[in-house]
Structure 1
Amino acid sequence: MTATALYTDLSGYYDLMCADINYQAQSDTVHRIDQFFGNGGKRHLDLACGTGPHIRFLLDLGYQSAGLDLNQPMLELAQQRCPEADFSCQNMCEFQLSQPVDLITCFLYSLHYSQTIAGLTACIRQAHLALNPGGVFCFNAVDKSQIDNASVVSHQAQHANSKFIFTSGWFYPGQGELQQLRLRIEKTENDQTEVWQDAHPMVAVTFAELQQLLAPYFDVQILQHDYDKLVAWDGSAGNALFVCVKH
């Protein structure tokens, strides 16, 4: 089953799958970053927005937000959650806007859905074009050289009469520009268990390579992946926040 088909099938359960994510803390951190590094504008775009939880919090913080995603069922749920926001079904590597924005976000490591270095480069270029002068592109990323293929995260959730177990982990084969996000979803209801498994193709980069791709377009700050305080990346952690200010 492809990644798009999986998410379409389970779009109604997506928020359960992400129930352990503190969207408010992430959104508050973006707001602080934007206050410190941004141009003072309030027009915001969320790439790969899913069901729109980041957008909901940023709307409540006073932004004029929009979102794009490739998955239409996700966008329909996002529109219900954020009726005052604009949503469009677009590829983040080749999207178009009617007017520029001041802040672009892309969280849950979704920038890696660019799939190839060429796609990632195109996404970075489009983000640059879509921003007003001094605008901020903020996202999180993982360094391929730091991936532990044996490491997984898992959590459980209850929905109606069903029990869900969600498990995910990165896999990098050791060379090349492709890594995988391996996902397993187990649903049990009335002693019957269904299992979905998939390996999503994701672009693989080191942070040094990512900095090189960003440098022609942005002034880049790399921060620790910490939503309690803004601290410079320690140079060794395998995930980080990237704050990119348009030249």
Structure 2
Amino acid sequence: MSANALYTDLSGYYDLMCVDINYPAQSNAIRRLHQLFGNGGTTHLDLACGTGPHVRHFIDFGYVSSGLDINQPMLDIAAIRCPEAHFTLQDMSTFEVSVPLDLITCFLYSIHYNDGIAKLAACISTVHHALKPGGVFCFNAVDKDKIDNDLSVKHSAKQEDAVFTFRSGWHYSGQGEKQSLRLSIEKTNAEETQLWDDEHPMVAISFAELSALLTPHFEVHVFEHNYEKIIPWDNGSGNAIFVCVKV
């Protein structure tokens, strides 16, 4: 199955796949960070927004929120979830906005969908251009040097007459700027079991390398990957939240 074919073919199952994600906590944590580091504005864009759950929460917080994604079926669902928002089919590394924004977010490690250092650098530059002075870019990331290829997460959920089992995990060879997100979906009902496997190419980068890309454009603050408490990164964990203020 080709890259992103899983989401194209199974976009209707995406929310089921992400049913264990605490969207309210994630959204509220970034709202709090924006209140601490932002310019007081409320215009917002979510990169790789998928079906729009984070956009929904930011609208409910009082933001003028929008989203972009490279997958039209996802955006169609997002438009139903958030009829107040504007969604566009764009690549996060080359997107355009009509007016500068106060906050740009990228949740669920989706910043890594820039599948090479050059595209990631282009994304950072594009985000910087799209923000107002004092605007904030918030995203989470994984350090390539901390990836354990043997670790994965798994959960099951029921929809109508079928049980779905979802598995995902990072894989990094140990060298180079490419890592992958390996995904599988198993659907079981009374008649049969179906299995989809997919591997999404993503950029592999250390936090030191990522900070070096960000600092020419932003004042960078790094926090532990904890959506309940605001805790500075301990320089050891392999997952972190980056809060980048346009300078």
Q: TM-score, normalised by structure 1?
A: 0.99
C-alpha separation between the residues in 1 aligned to 2:2 and 2:39? 39
2:47 matched residue in structure 1:
47
Offset of residue 10 of structure 1 = 0.5
CA distance, structure 2, for counterparts of residue 105 and residue 3 of structure 1: 23
Distance in 2 (CA, whole Å) between partners of 1:96 and 1:57 is 23
Q: In the alignment, which residue of structure 2 is the partner of 1:102?
A: 102
Alignment correspondent of 1:93: 93
Give 1:204's aligned residue.
204
Give ranges in structure 1 of 5+ residues lacking alignment.
none
Q: Which amino acid aligns with 1:10?
A: L
The equivalences for 1:58-137 within 5 A come to 58-137=58-137
Match of 1:26 in 2: 26
Instruction: Answer whether contact 2:4 2:200 (CA < 8 A) is retained.
Output: no
1:3 alignment partner AA: A
Which one-letter code corresponds to 2:192 in the other structure? Q
Matches within 5 A, 1:97-246: 97-246=97-246
Aligned-pair identity in percent equals: 62
The CA deviation at 1:189 is 1.6
Query: Cα distance, 1:5 vs. partner?
Result: 1.6
Shift of 1:19: 0.5
Q: Distance in 1 between matches of 2:37 and 2:11?
A: 34
- How many pairs align? 247
**Match for 1:145: what amino acid?**
D
Inter-partner Cα distance in structure 1 for 2:2 and 2:53? 24
- Aligned equivalents of 1:148 and 1:4: distance in 2? 23
Q: CA deviation at 1:2?
A: 1.9
Unaligned runs of 5+ residues in structure 2 are: none
Root-mean-square deviation (CA, aligned residues, Å) is 0.5
Specify the alignment match of 1:12 in structure 2: 12
**TM-score normalised according to structure 2 size:** 0.99
- Report the Cα distance in structure 1 between the residues aligned to 2:2 and 2:141, rounded to whole angstroms: 22
User: Which secondary structure state, in structure 1, belongs to the residue aligned with residue 4 of structure 2?
Assistant: helix
Q: How far off its partner does 1:194 sit?
A: 0.6
- CA apart distance, 1:4: 2.2
CA deviation map 1:156-181 (0-9, x unaligned): 00001110000000000000000010
Map Cα deviations across residues 86-120 of structure 1 (whole Å, 9 max, x no partner): 00000000000111110000010000000000000
> 2:34–2:103: 8 Å Cα contact kept in structure 1?
yes
Q: Residue type of the partner of 2:171?
A: F
